[in-house]
Amino acid sequence: MRIDVSLPLSLFLILTLSLLLSGKIKRKVEAILGGKKLSVREIFFTVIFMGIMVSLIVLMPNYAIQILFIAAYSYMLLIFMYLLSNKMFLAFIPPAIFIVTYLMVYMLMGESPTANVIMSVFASIFAIMIIAYLNSLFSWKIAILFAALLTAMDIIQVFITAHMVEAANKMVTLRLPIAIFLPTFPSVGYAVLGLGDIFLSGILSIQAANKYGWKTGFLVIASISVSLFIFEVIIFNLELNLNGFPATIIVLLGCLLGLSVHSLQIRIQQKLQKNG
């Protein structure tokens, strides 16, 4: 039986770091954003905009995609490092390192395994940054609505238009850090998880921690990681020929699993207290 632990463990680590860093910079981010929270209307428009951007990437020339992504990544890295260090001159160093590294990977390394590892590291850093930075915009109810809408959009863009798969393949070809691309272990092969799926996992985990406590947040992180592990086992061993699959479904099911365990624990504690 083929199994993989590298991708689920990597996801668990990324989400755990996101949860810890989110708590560390929460007040600073809220001060910058002025305590802003996304409304229901804004969430609808955000998901629609994300769907449109996926379709536009399919049509955009390669150089335009590279310029936009590198600029966005460098800006986020600059802001994030400034929030951590409070020193602007230090904050400029990581974006400069990223730009130089990306150019070296794109022009010199091509599709080598080393290039995949380097871009996976930058993708992980990017995921942690956007989760920690944008989390303050969400409330628990808005996060649940966002998860439902994003999953619906993902299903449409994967199974109906296929734009999600085309856009992802195009950006991977450009060596942009839009996914973690890891060798499977102990089985031989590769596994991929996109930034959007990691971002959704992080938002749900942190909001669960804010709503029900850190223990529940870590429980949701664990349940999403376990769901990904189970999904990989099914895909690898049934040898399903899928050009793409909306992993947001796996994220949502994993979150529901974690919340179900949390609810069960509460009921058991209440019953024990009542009987005691």
pLDDT per position as a tens digit, 2-22: 899 999 999 999 999 999 988
**Within-domain flag for 227:** yes
In tens, the pLDDT along 222-250 reads 999 999 999 999 988 887 777 778 999 99
What is the extent of the structural domain holding 189?
Answer: 6-275
pLDDT interval class at 151 (50, 70, 90): very high
> Rounded mean pLDDT of 107-128?
86
Measured at the alpha carbon of residue 206, what is the angle toward residues 201 and 211, in degrees to the nearest 5? 125
Does residue 237 belong to any structural domain of this protein?
A: yes
The residues that bridge with 181 in the sheet, in sequence order, are 192
For residues 70 and 110, which has the higher predicted lDDT (pLDDT)?
70
Record the tokens describing residue 6, joined without a space.
Answer: 């590298």
Q: Is residue 1 in some structural domain?
A: no
**How far is Cα 62 from Cα 65, in angstroms, rounded to an integer?**
5
Q: How confident is the model at residue 65 (pLDDT cuts 50, 70, 90)?
A: very high
DSSP 8-state symbol, 189: S
Q: What is the value of pTM for the model shown?
A: 0.92
Closest CA to 123 of 107, 101, 108: 101
Provide the β-strand partners of residue 180.
193
pLDDT at 86: 80
User: Count of domains in the chain?
Assistant: 1
Q: What is the DSSP string of 147-178?
A: HHHHHHHHHIIIIIS-HHHHHHHHHHHTT-SS
Q: How confident is the model at residue 276 (pLDDT cuts 50, 70, 90)?
A: low
**Least confidently predicted of 50-59, 105-114, 152-161, 163-172:** 105-114
